Amino acid sequence: MLLHLPTTVSEVQECMAEGAVPIGGATLVWADWQRDGFPALAMSLRDLPEATVIEPEALGAAVVLHRIDDRVPEVLRRAAGTVGTGAVRRTATVGGNIVGSSLRCLLPAALVLDARPTVLGPDRAYETDLAEVVAKRHLLLGLRWRTPTTSGYRKVPAEAGGPPPLVVATAVHADDEGRHHLRVAVRDGYEVLSESASCDEGTDQVLGALERTDIGALRSAARDVVREQVADILDSLSDR
């Protein structure tokens, strides 16, 4: 297998045109390659500046999970810190987790941040939304978002080998007029849903609004965790 390490977007496009297979940390494909054979050409974005950035409002797709620290919002940092084992986090990448993984542990955090992904097409890089990235498995270059007022994350313990653990991510954003809006994303099984509600009228009103969305159709145990997380983040907001 020949591995390309492009350093510019134009070089990445050339690699794509040659049929190079994008890889991150290869944690998701290595076993398959050992069984079925390695591709002739592969490509890593680890030397591409656009894909390795870590900033308060940006994260590159080639960043390995263990490098995600307090430069980014709490919800994203905690999501990355609960993926797999330490060995996995030292090799798995942001792009591999969001695009390549069936669990997509970082997706709920990205959704509540209202993150905008930048992807690379055959002729240009462009900004799109997370739903398109997940559905079409684009080559992700990175994510950008606006810093939330506060955020939170909870992954419920689960038995090894069982269904994926329940994840609830939350973030509060302030609009240009100072009004606050809560975003909630839930991974229950392999499905991820997200909803939002104004949160300037109190916890009971926010919870009532969320119950009238698809969150109200979740199983009762999942709704209990959502209620706890929403109450916690709104309490932290009132302390600011």
pLDDT of residue 3 exceeding 90, the answer is no
The pLDDT of residue 226 is 97
**Range in 45-59, 61-75, 160-174, 215-229 the model is least confident about:** 160-174
Q: Per mean pLDDT, which range of 21-25, 123-127, 194-198 is the poorest? A: 21-25
Sign for the pseudo-dihedral over CA of 47, 22, 101, 133: positive
Burial string for 127-159 (b: 16+ CB within 10 Å, else e) reads: eeebeebeeeebbbbbbbbeebbbbbbbbeeee
Residue 84 has pLDDT above 70, yes or no: yes
pLDDT tens column, 142-181? 999 999 999 999 999 887 777 899 999 999 999 888 889 9
What's the pLDDT band for 204 if we cut at 50, 70, 90? Answer: very high
Q: How many CB atoms lie within 10 A of CB 45?
A: 30
Mean pLDDT for the chain?
Answer: 90
Alpha helices in the chain (DSSP H): 9-17, 30-36, 74-81, 86-89, 94-95, 107-112, 130-136, 203-211, 220-238
**What percentage of the chain has pLDDT greater than the value 90?**
66
Report yes or no: 88 and 27 within 8 Å, Cβ to Cβ.
yes
Global pTM reads 0.92
Q: In this model, does residue 219 exceed pLDDT 80?
A: yes
Cβ burial 212-223 (10 Å sphere, 16+ → b, else e): eeebeebeeebb
Place of tokens 């390795």: 52
Confidence grade of residue 213 (pLDDT, cut at 50, 70, 90): very high
Q: Greater confidence, 121 or 126?
A: 126
pLDDT tens-place string over residues 173-193 = 998 888 899 999 999 999 999
pLDDT at residue number 21: 83
Asked whether residue 208 carries a pLDDT value surpassing 70, the answer given is yes
pLDDT digits (tens, 9 = 90+) for 13-54: 998 889 888 886 555 555 566 666 677 788 889 999 999 999
Full set of structural domains in the chain with CATH? 2-144 (3.30.465.10), 150-238 (3.30.390)
